[in-house]
Amino acid sequence: MYAALKKFALLPLGIIQSIAKAVGTILFITHSSARKTTEINLKSAYPELSTLELKQLSKRSLKSQCMTYAESVKVWGSPPEYALSLIKDIHGAEIFQKALGDNKGVLAAVPHFGTWEIINAWLNLQTSPTIMYKPNKNKDIDRFMLEARQRLNTTLVPTDETGVRAIFKYLKQGGCSVILPDHVPKPSGGIYSPFFGQNTLSSTLLSKLASKTQCTVIGLSCIRRDDLSGFDLHVYELSKDILSKDLQVSVDTLNKEMERMINAAPEQYLWSYKRFRRLADKKNLYTN
């Protein structure tokens, strides 16, 4: 698989995107599990959509999700300069520069939205982030991903207490880190909080780090242009309520801010992920 990934990454981006869109179409027309989960999530997040609108958004989303994975392979298999060349506009760069200049530490919230792998190359132009890395279960994929990470000026730490302590220390020193806060955590690492209409178990890691360090929390996203001519990177100034000592206030605010980011291009969010599988009322949205 490692050799196949290397060869796939050599293909022109346009061809890679076309292949990915075709796969997304197949997932849609075959009523795949990815389509089922995507439609359940979209219906929950946007209940105002008509049946036709939901179907159209689901189809666009499946194509986009496939492109995100394929684009990530291309980015991993290319030098950082290639990823940087794909960024056409940067919105809010001054927000990030100010945050760095304040020397309070910078914690970036990066949901599974857009082609987030491109963000790494840009971040490494600005600073030297410390980022958690969880090895992939597939050794070939992990080798491929790790090679890409090690080309960057990034310090990788494990996704455990050791890694958390390393990030905490780095933030206190004025450093920068990135957290993907929209996964479903273990019960010990989350609290229930509204997210797109569902009171769902939500990660507390970013909120705890923000509260304890009182660093600057920003949002980052990399959104694919509709004409596929490249990507726009967005830096968001997030509410200071994320720094609250009240964990519920912090997590509620973070979820609301992620909604704001995702609503800019909802078809580019990872809706095939079963984000709502742990709800406060124990209801399972993904059963027939």
Q: pLDDT, tens digit, for every residue of 150-194?
A: 888 899 999 999 999 999 999 999 999 999 999 999 999 999 999
What is the dihedral angle through the alpha carbons of 40, 41, 46, 50, rounded to the nearest 10 degrees?
A: -30
Number of domains making up the chain: 1
Q: How far apart are CA 174 and CA 5, in angstroms?
A: 37
Evaluate whether 250 touches 202 at the Cβ level (below 8 Å): no
In a domain, 286, yes or no: no
- Measure Cα distances from 217 to 2, 97, 116, 209 in Å: 36, 13, 17, 10
Q: In this structure, what DSSP letter does residue 225 have?
A: P
Q: What is residue 77's DSSP assignment?
A: T
Is 276 inside a domain boundary?
Answer: no
Contacts for 89 with CB less than 8 Å, ≥ 6 apart: 232, 233
Report the relative pairing of strands 216-224 and 155-157 from DSSP bridges.
Answer: unpaired
Is the pLDDT confidence value at 288 over 90? Answer: no
Whether residue 23 lies inside any domain: the answer is yes
Domain coverage including residue 231: 2-268
- 282 part of a folded domain: no
Task: Indicate whether 278 belongs to any domain.
Answer: no
pLDDT digit string, tens, across residues 26-74? 999 999 999 999 999 999 999 999 999 999 999 999 999 999 999 999 9
CA dihedral 20, 22, 24, 28 (to 10 degrees): 180
Q: Is residue 273 part of a domain?
A: no
Mean pLDDT score, 63-88: 97
Residue 147 lies in a domain: yes
Q: Which residues contact 188 (CB under 8 A, 6 or more apart)?
A: none
pLDDT at residue 94 in the model = 97
pLDDT, the chain, mean: 96
Report if residue 52 sits inside a domain.
yes
**Look-up of token digits 């994320």:** 242
User: Any idea what the Cα angle at residue 245 is, between residues 45 and 198, rounded to 5°?
Assistant: 15
Q: Is the pLDDT of residue 224 over 90?
A: yes
**What was the pLDDT predicted at 235?**
98
Tokens at 58, concatenated: 């689901």
Which range has highest mean pLDDT (117-126, 133-142, 243-252)? 243-252
Place of tokens 């290639």: 82
Q: What is the pLDDT of residue 150?
A: 85
pLDDT value of residue 165: 96
Residue 283 has what pLDDT? 86
What phi, psi does 177 have (nearest 5°)?
-145, 170
